[in-house]
Amino acid sequence: MTALWAQVFRRDVAMLLTGGRRGGAGLPVLFFLAVAMLYPFAVGPDAALLARSGGGIVWVAALLAAILPLDRLVEPDLDAGFFDQWAIRGLSEEWIMASRIGSHWLTFAVPLMAAALPASALLGLSGEQVRVVMLGLLAGTPGLAALGVMVAGITAGLRGGAALSGLLIVPLAIPLLIFGAGSLSSGGEGGIALTGAVSLVLLAIAPFAAGAAVRAARD
């Protein structure tokens, strides 16, 4: 059982990294950097303005980048019959979704946080702001990954599921955005702690919600 789960997790990481034919882990990161690069072009090179609003832009870009991998988180494997094959091997959908949240975080959030450093430089953030942004992302991205898997599970198998999942994740991610980006103006700890708390709630419910959704889609 544990061995089977470990194999599934390994495959999840490999699948999400390379993405098969659906684009791998690099795409959301490039998108994230592109937004951070475009913003100074749009608002002009006013360093004070950039430094004041840059942290929020990093958060918005992270949220938008989180939409990109949604369509390959659950649906391709559901279509190809992987979930049924795991089910007859006695691996519950909840464990599969837990594996997927972990692998999605590893392949999406870790590269994103690495890319947040050059993005912060592009936006001219100060050292202290970079520290708060990075801590906030560390606290918030697990919740974002859980949310992504949950939304992908719920919309898997629906017509237009990919577009729908993008629309669904945005309002659900607002608490993460408010506390995460808010920690920048309030100076840190409180906001980051609240971001972490939202992440924990999402991590706790996402495997069950996504697992139940996939089981319901099967009947």
- Residues making contact with other proteins (CB under 8 A): 3-4, 7-8, 11, 15, 18, 20-21, 79-82, 84-85, 87-89, 218-219
Rg (CA), the chain: 18
Which one, 42 or 88, has the nearer CB to other proteins? 88
**In the complex, minimum distance from the CB of residue 151 to other proteins, in angstroms, rounded to a whole number:** 23
CB of 121 within 8 A of CB of 180?
no
**In the complex, minimum distance from the CB of residue 4 to other proteins, in angstroms, rounded to a whole number:** 5
**In the complex, minimum distance from the CB of residue 160 to other proteins, in angstroms, rounded to a whole number:** 22
Cα end-to-end span (Å), the chain: 25
Measured in degrees and rounded to the nearest 5, phi and psi for residue 23 equal 85, 135
Residue 167: CA atoms inside 13 Å, Cβ hemisphere, count? 6
Which one, 46 or 84, has the nearer CB to other proteins? 84
CB of 112 within 8 A of CB of 62?
yes
Which one, 20 or 118, has the nearer CB to other proteins? 20
**In the complex, minimum distance from the CB of residue 190 to other proteins, in angstroms, rounded to a whole number:** 45
Which one, 85 or 186, has the nearer CB to other proteins? 85
**Burial of 136 by CB count in 10 Å (0-12 exposed, 13-18 middle, 19+ buried)?**
buried
